[in-house]
């Protein structure tokens, strides 16, 4: 087992943070949880994570990294408390479990997208008849457009083309 040359890496720039040196953490509890555990080598690195996490109010808290001996003792206690294994280096720990995504089928956005410009449709109907148009009209109208497009695609494919032409819509 080799001894680490530094305590941890900065969560933003990935530069090493040495033993016993000053570092910063975010004061927000979600950033300091053991699973998240963000640490930053400088205030500018801490500031860089704010664009991603969007805290309402936060500040950097100055801390000091443990010495190599303190870190080794802390890792020894954590390893004995969580598992009977004595592995303390990342390469000796058991691999992280990565679960497959859930088996539920995501809806296809192409099946539910509105294919009609609603404002243009409403303007056309109002100009032609003076009638108002319900917002729910676009769903069946989009379905009809999808069916017409699918038929035109099949006709172009049957003729050996990869371009749908106006004559494919009959």
**Domain presence at residue 43:** yes
Domain count within the chain: 2
The pLDDT of residue 90 is 52
The pLDDT of residue 37 is 83
The pLDDT of residue 127 is 96
Domain span at residue 140? 109-168
In this structure, are 116 and 156 located in the same domain? yes
Q: Which of 28, 47, 82 lies at the terminal end of a domain, its last residue?
A: 82
Structure-token pair, residue 11: 């969560």
Those residues with Cβ within 8 angstroms of residue 47's Cβ, 6 or more apart along the chain or in another chain: 60
The pLDDT of residue 59 is 83
**Domain presence at residue 94:** no
**Domain presence at residue 147:** yes
The pLDDT of residue 1 is 39
**Domain presence at residue 151:** yes
DSSP, collapsed to helix, strand or coil, labels residue 154 as helix
Residue from 67, 19, 15 nearest 44 by CA: 15
The pLDDT of residue 81 is 61
**C-alpha span between 18 and 4 (Å, rounded):** 10
**Domain presence at residue 93:** no
**Domain presence at residue 123:** yes
pLDDT tens, N- to C-terminus, the chain (170 residues)? 345 788 889 988 899 999 999 998 888 888 888 888 889 998 888 888 876 777 777 788 888 988 888 888 887 776 666 555 444 555 555 555 555 666 666 666 667 788 888 899 999 999 999 999 998 898 899 889 989 998 999 898 888 888 999 999 98
**C-alpha span between 112 and 152 (Å, rounded):** 20
Q: Is-contact 15 44, C-beta < 8 A?
A: no
**Domain presence at residue 116:** yes
């Amino acid at each position: 087992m080799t001894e680490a040359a530094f305590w941890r890496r900065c969560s933003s720039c990935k530069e090493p943070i040495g033993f016993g040196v000053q570092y910063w953490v975010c004061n927000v509890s979600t950033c300091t949880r053991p699973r998240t555990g963000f640490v930053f080598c400088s205030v500018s690195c801490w500031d860089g994570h704010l664009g991603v996490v969007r805290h309402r109010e936060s500040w950097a808290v100055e801390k000091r990294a443990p010495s190599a001996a303190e870190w080794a003792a802390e890792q020894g206690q954590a390893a004995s408390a969580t598992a009977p294994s004595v592995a303390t280096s990342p390469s000796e720990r058991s691999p992280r479990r990565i679960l497959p995504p859930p088996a539920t089928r995501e809806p296809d956005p192409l099946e539910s997208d509105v294919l009609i410009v609603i404002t243009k449709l409403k303007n056309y109907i109002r100009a032609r008849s003076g009638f108002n148009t319900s917002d729910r009209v676009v769903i069946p109208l989009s379905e009809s457009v999808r069916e017409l497009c699918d038929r035109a695609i099949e006709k172009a494919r049957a003729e050996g083309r990869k371009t749908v032409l106006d004559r494919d819509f009959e």
